[in-house]
Amino acid sequence: MRIRAEKLKAAAWGTFAAGVLLVAIGMGSRSLAHFDAALVAYTFATVFATFGIIYRYAMWLQRPPTAMYFKRGWQVFLSPRFLMRNLAVWCQRLVLTFVFNAFIFRRGRARWGAHWLIMWGCLIAVAITFPLVFGWIHFETVPGHLDRYRVYVFGFGMDEFPIQSLKAFILFHGLVWAAILVIAGVMIAMYRRMRDHGAAAVQQFGEDFLPLILLFAISITGLMLTASYTWMKGYAYDFLAILHAVTVIFTLLWLPFGKFFHIFQRPAQLGVAFYKDIGQRTQQACCKRCGEPFASLMQVRDLVTVEKQLGFNYALRPSPESDAIHYQEICPKCRRALLALAQGELRAASTGQQRWQ
């Protein structure tokens, strides 16, 4: 019953988001006046992807640990006492974590290089293509100045520049640059995955190779389109356009399922950081066996709640020798010792001797 309710709720959210997107497309393109009919397949794929992503996101948020973190994350972030400080720290973390991927840099240079290039390539590509597809951005020659372009965002004229300028060259080849970044990143990632024995042991085709292949296919077919109309007088352009569309649409449809979903999950990392910050500043939980502090009391209590919601019952049986009521009050180090001590108890019981120590 619970699962079904969750699913319904998630589906509602997904439908709602897809609806909002459709409305935005309608309005942004001035009732489809600037909508490029050739891109209709892309649009539908995007709408489906939006539904899928929001559905999955909603399902995810309903999992007890995620819900707890989601709630706590916003609570601690918005707590009036720390809001200004949180905002400052958030900006700093956004730059380090998101812009530079500092944590991946520490995990490994090659891994970082691959991720950073792919991430920025994709971001640039998304920033260009989606608004174009939705008709949120379009370009028109300035009336009376055939050598000048004007940019329209949501139908409002914004910027104006000469067609032959460097700015125009850079802008109109934005997708080429994005493709080059992505291909470079994919190459590094592939190279690493093909050689590294550690990666080889745990990688899976669907999880680890398919995303790379998709990104590569999108980028290379996109580049071929550019090559076709720039140097080859549009040779096989239509075929390439369909090929490109197929790769993109497949990727869009794949977004909610595979590795790409981390794009939407990952920002939670920033929220968790605030949870940890506040945890450090507030009361610590001390282990009921050794007395040493080992985690924030808030997190320990939240875990007790979450475990209960998940159907675990780590409640301890009352004992005159300890006031511990839940196993969550025992630190990981003591937990490690307990296994050996428990085995010692059994040996002692079986031999009738006192326990080994």
- Residues numbered 319 to 338 that lie near another protein (CB under 8 A) are 319, 321-322, 324, 326-328, 330-338
Q: Which residues of 260-287 are buried (b: 16+ CB within 10 A; e: fewer)?
A: bbeeeeeebebbebbbebbbeeeeebbb
Nearest in space to 125 (alpha carbons), one of 176, 188, 166, 170? 176
Q: Give me the least distance between CB of 159 and another protein, in Å please.
A: 36
Examine residue 162 and tell whether it contacts another protein (CB under 8 A).
no
> At its nearest, how many Å lie between another protein and the CB of residue 137?
30
- Tell me which amino acid residue 258 is: G
Number of residues that bind another protein (CB under 8 A): 77
Token pair listed for 284: 């610590």
175-234: contacts with another protein (CB under 8 A): 192, 195-202
Half-sphere exposure of 341 (CA within 13 A, CB side): 6
Q: Which stretch binds another protein (CB under 8 A): 168-176, 227-235, 246-254, 315-323?
A: 315-323
Nearer to another protein, 24 or 338 (CB): 338
Q: How many CB atoms lie within 10 A of CB 198?
A: 8
Work out how close the CB of 50 gets to another protein at its nearest, in angstroms, rounded to a whole number: 20
End-to-end CA distance of the chain: 50
| Site residues (CB under 8 A) for another protein, limited to 86-105 | 103
Q: Which one among 268, 286, 297, 298 touches another protein, defined by CB under 8 A?
A: 268
Q: Which of residues 58-77 bind another protein (CB under 8 A)?
A: 60, 63, 65-66, 68-69
Nearer residue to another protein within complex by CB, 281 or 335? 335
Q: How far is CA 164 from CA 167, 172, 173, 196, 305, in A?
A: 8, 11, 13, 47, 63
Residue 128 interacts with another protein (CB under 8 A): yes or no: no
Task: Tell me the HSE value of 137 on the side-chain side, using a 13 A CA sphere.
Answer: 14
Distance in Å, CB of 176 to another protein, minimum: 27
Subset of 22-61 contacting another protein (CB under 8 A): 60
Question: Is 346 near another protein (CB under 8 A)?
Answer: yes
